[in-house]
Amino acid sequence: MYNYIAIKGVNILRAVDIIIKKREGEVLNLDEIHFMIDGYVKGEIPDYQMSSLLMAICLKGLNSDEQTAFTMEMLKSGEQIDLSSIDGICVDKHSTGGVGDKTTLVVAPIIASCGLKIAKMSGRGLGHTGGTLDKLESIPGFNINVSSKDFLKQVKEIGIAVVGQTANITPADKKLYALRDVTGTVESVGLIASSIMSKKLASGAHSILLDVKVGDGAFMKTIEDAKVLAKAMVSIGNKCGRKTVAMLTDMDQPLGEAVGNSLEVIEAIETLKGHGDREFTTLCHEICAEMLLITNSVKNKEEAIKLIDKKIESGEALEKLREMIIYQHGDPKVIDDYSLFKKCQKVVEVKALKDGYIKRIHTLNVGNVAMILGAGRQTKDETIDHSVGIKIKVKVGDKVKAGDTLALIYSNGVREKEAIDMLLECFEICQEKVAKHNIILGIVE
């Protein structure tokens, strides 16, 4: 047990003692966690001491109570969105990030058309993963900068809003994440779970569905690691009074066909019209079903799937997307006329060099190719080109012949040759049959 300096029997908290305590693998209490996080936000704890604590946490971990305490401290450091004036159940969905992940654009309108409320603050893309806000901004005129007041008004009136951050939420996480990024301390389950959950809790939803991506294109490369992260986040959410469930889903190949902003919006619209890629459609159905179940909106999964099918077939889900686009000043005509999206200059085919089966698609690198074409950003302040990207035309397990199209590159000429070479290398073709991937890998409740 670590001994503090005490004056008249009262322990004097010092950052150095807390760092040593964690270094020795002991459990930190609420006061110690508050002392470090609150002190760091106020500038009383310097970067070098916080970095040292973060490294000790990476090496020794945080138990479940410590993770919850970390989350609550970060949550309390900023504003929290108060959704209590909205009638009905507010439900949120969060993906840990992947390549071609346009799920929110499909799931949010379906769920809103089922009568639940979607008050969603999304993020921008960085590195190989795309961001929902960038995708939405590929719709001409679409506004993601909405005030808190207008955000609430929109959700009350039409049941759906997907916007940029409207308030100063979790400043402690912002400061800590920036430090973790440059001190090799991002990869800690406890730190990742508390970082993500502090933002989710601050966003105010009553129920939260987490889509934890697993595989080459995801943060978590193995199902075991993904399960540990999912369990940690579900435990934090439920301890904090929000019904939270996590799904583990495949990111060992890009999601659906499109990677790149307007291409992904078009794919999402096609999916809402009932013409989506099979795996992607399954994922959206499964996520929606789980959201309906955790909010007690349906009795069972069968009823959930029937309701989702009905909302797609009747066009009500697509109409919800249209309502949101109109409310946020975008051009709703894009739904019926894809030529209204900004066009790229040319489309280049990437073809298989030999016969065989698709063994692997290096998903992280597919994301990187989209980024170098201009669809994503390497640093936070870069501008992006909404019209460029990739369409993947094959899946793992597909049989191909030399000359078959593996992918299409939508280009405006930026680093095009490099992109073609890199993309070709993303596809591994072998002679033996290869099993297809399941999109849903598990669920953590």
Please work out, in degrees rounded to the nearest 5, the angle formed at the alpha carbon of residue 141 by the alpha carbons of 110 and 137: 60
Residue 419 exposure: Cα atoms within 13 Å on the Cβ side? 26
Stretch that binds ligand URA, among 45-53, 104-112, 192-200, 330-338 (CB under 6 A): 192-200
Strand pairing report for 356-361 and 399-400: antiparallel
The residues with which 444 forms a beta bridge, in sequence order, are 246
**In the complex, what is the shortest distance from the CB of residue 307 to ligand URA, in angstroms, rounded to a whole number?**
31
Is 85 marked active-site?
Answer: no
* 236 in contact with ligand URA (CB under 6 A): no
Cβ closer to ligand URA: 92 or 385?
92
Nearest to 165 by CA among 195, 187, 141, 145: 145
Among 77, 138, 195, 203, binds ligand URA (CB under 6 A): 195
**In the complex, what is the shortest distance from the CB of residue 151 to ligand URA, in angstroms, rounded to a whole number?**
20
CA 385, CA 261: separation in Å to the nearest integer?
A: 8
* 95 in contact with ligand URA (CB under 6 A): no
Stretch that binds ligand URA, among 38-46, 187-195, 325-333, 373-381 (CB under 6 A): 187-195
Indicate the SS3 state at residue 321.
Answer: helix
Return the amino acid letter for 405.
T
Is 94 marked active-site?
Answer: yes
CA 112, CA 131: separation in Å to the nearest integer?
A: 21
Q: Which of residues 160-179 bind ligand URA (CB under 6 A)?
A: 177
**In the complex, what is the shortest distance from the CB of residue 202 to ligand URA, in angstroms, rounded to a whole number?**
12
Is 31 marked active-site?
Answer: no
* 196 in contact with ligand URA (CB under 6 A): yes
Among 119, 161, 189, 192, binds ligand URA (CB under 6 A): 192
**In the complex, what is the shortest distance from the CB of residue 197 to ligand URA, in angstroms, rounded to a whole number?**
9
Choice among 173, 211, 250, 252 that is catalytic: 173
DSSP state of 256: S
- Asked if residue 347 lies in contact with residue 410, where contact means CB atoms within 8 angstroms, the answer is yes
**In the complex, what is the shortest distance from the CB of residue 122 to ligand URA, in angstroms, rounded to a whole number?**
12
Phi, psi at residue 360, to the nearest 5°? -145, 150
Is 47 marked active-site?
Answer: no
Please work out, in degrees rounded to the nearest 5, the angle formed at the alpha carbon of residue 324 by the alpha carbons of 322 and 330: 80
Indicate the SS3 state at residue 385.
Answer: coil
Active site residues: 94, 173, 180, 195, 199
Binding site for ligand URA (CB under 6 A): 177, 186, 191-192, 195-196
